[in-house]
């Protein structure tokens, strides 16, 4: 993994996400009234029900007068709540790595509380997996601590990007009445289905790179994180940063050393997830698996019971975060505001493939911050019983830049239109008149590169797919006639393949692309499915799902029968795109994405399969479309 320029993960550099901390319950549960304004910044340990001490920073608005109260925004992270930047004078609060963002949030009238998750940063404890039940309970106890403070108005919201977006949402699981609003930004609603194993296909690079990152962070390895591993470079780095910030009382850093020693017992992320093949396999060497782990997609009852309003911002080309936001919207009864933009993970880059690569993000950083505060203000300030939040999705259409709103998903006004995989690489509006087939031997050098939707989810980088025409020469492609009018596709395309396979396992990747008059091929979206997990589930999905629901459990896996026709239907990740008149629509099929996903089959000869085309076996893609 390319190390970040500072040890603080990209999410902490995002305009909203910086540090604040808390203190210990025995010190504060009955915090007395005082005539002294609270300190601007405190870094403290809060002791949990089982004695584990959790590190938190608390930033309160400067000059907050005794007796005045404010709501709090929480951010809960496993990426260090704050970096111990070495200030020139040894103690200037403005040198804190979170100062700029805390200043902005305080200026909006909120206290800002940032938490090191159990088993990370300056917190004690260990981690058996991510976002454990104990971790979620910790956050609820910190809410109790917050509302007991003399500066608190008794109302708390949560905000975060990525992992921190998931913890922001999971705070609602505690159903604490003080938590009225949560803002999960760019979260992975179901990390197994939407990130680590989308379509049951192992996103290999992500697990390796993310596992390396969090291993170094949990061990407070500032030199490893910044790539300063040579002795001289490491010494120079430590003149700028000591790594994770200790709590204020830890003047000799002995508490931090003891906490880091606890972290040595943390599970090893890369090893654990590489040991998986299916959802119900043991996670590493422990007895647990990822089936029904503590993630939002499995917590419908608890999150609905909180009645907290939810604000979620995601990107069309940020892994599968848009799919997760739409699943949440159609599953949970909580009032929800969803924003889907042409945004990278964290919102720092524009990702519209039809705009220049250096186009500024829309909305801008200032606008993103303002919309969040506008969401929180009526819920955490003002009236005791604020007006209810009306549920709505705002989304941008790629290629046009036009923002649209809808109270339902899929939005009204789009009709499913079927295109058939035809002879000679044509994508036809009519089913094939004569039987035929197209054989393909998987090219394992085919790739979508490293500036794609999956890489942004680990480092917040820009998403820039190059012209795909050369890469498409490695794939099996089907291209339509030029469109007569500008056409908008909005929703989740659905592809059905009738396949004869020469191997008992394979991966299928389907790319939706456009082809301009000059031949340039532009990536729009994709979907993938591992062949052995093709069988639709006989049980109901735990959350709304656009296509056939699959459990991805070992018990439901079925090897591909050699030489027999099998029907494989799966959805592509959701999109909204305007295809200009004169452009053509292309479906490109692959069996690999080198440098990103694992190889299937794992070894041996390349997978070979044949796409059938006939009246009985009509391989096709269904697109929700509307002519403009």
Q: Give the catalytic positions in this structure.
A: 162, 318, 345
> Which residues have a Cβ under 8 Å from the Cβ of 465 and sit 6 or more positions away?
353, 448, 449, 451, 452, 522, 523
Residue 152's closest CA among 127, 132, 176, 117? 176
Could you tell me if 252 and 113 are in contact, meaning their C-beta atoms sit under 8 angstroms apart? Answer: no
Helix (H, G, I), strand (E, B) or coil at 414: coil
Distance CA 106, CA 83 (A): 19
Inter-axis angle of helices 163-170 and 133-147, nearest 10? 70
Residue 575's closest CA among 340, 311, 328? 340
Angle subtended at Cα 493 by Cα 490 and Cα 495, rounded to the nearest 5 degrees: 170
Distance CA 325, CA 358 (A): 26
Residue 210's closest CA among 119, 271, 158, 260? 271
Could you tell me if 585 and 495 are in contact, meaning their C-beta atoms sit under 8 angstroms apart? Answer: no
Could you tell me if 451 and 465 are in contact, meaning their C-beta atoms sit under 8 angstroms apart? Answer: yes
> Which residues have a Cβ under 8 Å from the Cβ of 177 and sit 6 or more positions away?
none
Residue 622's closest CA among 494, 459, 476? 494
> DSSP string spanning 291-346?
TT-SSGGG-HHHHHHHT-EEEEEEETTSTTHHHHHHHHHHH--S-EEEEEESB-TT
| Three-state SS sequence of 195-223 | HHCHHHCCCHHHHHHHHHHHHHHHCCCHH
């Amino acid at each position: 993994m390319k190390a970040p320029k500072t040890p603080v993960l990209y999410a902490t550099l995002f305009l909203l996400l910086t540090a604040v901390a808390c203190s210990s319950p025995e010190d504060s549960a009955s915090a007395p009234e005082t005539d002294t304004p609270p300190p601007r910044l405190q870094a403290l340990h809060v002791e949990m029900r089982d004695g584990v001490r959790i590190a938190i920073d608390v930033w309160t608005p400067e000059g907050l007068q005794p007796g005045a109260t404010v709501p709090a925004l929480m951010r809960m992270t496993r990426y260090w709540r704050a970096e111990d930047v070495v200030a020139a004078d040894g103690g200037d609060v403005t040198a804190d790595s979170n100062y700029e963002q805390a200043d902005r949030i305080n200026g909006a009238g909120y206290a800002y509380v940032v938490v090191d998750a159990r088993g990370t940063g300056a917190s004690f404890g260990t981690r058996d997996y991510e976002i454990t039940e104990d971790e979620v309970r910790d956050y609820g106890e910190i809410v109790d601590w917050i509302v007991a403070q003399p500066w608190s108005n008794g109302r708390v919201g949560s905000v975060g990007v990525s992992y921190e977006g998931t913890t922001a949402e999971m705070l609602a699981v505690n159903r604490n009445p003080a938590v009225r609003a949560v803002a999960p930004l760019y979260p992975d609603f179901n990390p197994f289905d939407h990130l680590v194993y989308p379509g049951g296909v192992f996103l290999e690079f992500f697990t390796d790179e993310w596992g390396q990152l969090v291993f170094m962070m949990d061990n407070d390895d500032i030199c490893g994180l910044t790539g300063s591993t040579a002795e001289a470079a490491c010494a120079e780095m430590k003149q700028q940063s000591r790594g994770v910030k200790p709590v204020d009382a830890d003047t000799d850093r002995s508490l931090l050393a003891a906490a880091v020693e606890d972290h040595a017992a943390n599970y090893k992320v890369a090893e654990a997830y590489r040991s998986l093949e299916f959802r119900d396999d043991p996670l590493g060497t422990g007895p647990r698996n990822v089936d029904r782990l503590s993630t939002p997609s499995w917590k419908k009852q608890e999150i609905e019971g909180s009645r907290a309003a939810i604000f979620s911002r995601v990107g069309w080309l940020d892994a599968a975060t848009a799919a997760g936001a739409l699943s949440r919207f159609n599953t949970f009864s909580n009032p929800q505001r969803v924003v889907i933009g042409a945004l990278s993970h964290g919102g720092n880059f524009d990702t519209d493939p039809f705009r220049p690569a250096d186009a500024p993000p829309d909305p801008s950083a200032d606008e993103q911050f303002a919309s969040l505060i506008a969401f929180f203000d009526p819920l955490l300030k003002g009236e005791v019983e604020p007006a209810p939040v009306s549920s709505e999705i705002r989304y941008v259409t790629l290629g046009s830049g036009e923002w649209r709103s809808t109270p339902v998903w899929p939005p009204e006004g789009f009709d499913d239109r079927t295109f058939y995989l035809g002879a000679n690489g044509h994508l036809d509006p009519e089913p094939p008149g004569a039987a035929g087939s197209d054989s393909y031997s998987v090219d394992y050098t085919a790739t979508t590169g490293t500036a794609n939707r999956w890489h942004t989810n680990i480092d917040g980088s820009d998403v820039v797919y190059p012209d795909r025409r050369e890469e498409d020469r490695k794939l099996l492609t089907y291209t339509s006639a030029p469109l007569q009018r500008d056409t908008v596709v909005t929703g989740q395309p659905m592809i059905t393949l009738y396949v004869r396979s020469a191997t008992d396992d394979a991966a299928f990747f389907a790319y939706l692309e456009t082809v301009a008059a000059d031949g340039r091929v532009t990536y729009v979206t994709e979907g993938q499915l591992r062949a052995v997990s093709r069988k639709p589930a006989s049980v109901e999905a735990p959350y709304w799902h656009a296509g056939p629901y699959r459990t991805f459990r070992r018990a439901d896996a079925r090897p591909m029968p050699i030489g027999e026709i099998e029907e494989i239907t799966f959805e592509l990740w959701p999109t909204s795109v305007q295809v200009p008149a004169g452009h053509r629509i292309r479906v490109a099929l692959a069996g690999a994405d080198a440098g990103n996903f694992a190889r299937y089959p794992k070894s041996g000869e390349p997978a070979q399969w044949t796409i059938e085309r006939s009246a009985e076996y009509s391989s096709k893609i269904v697109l929700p479309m509307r002519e403009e």
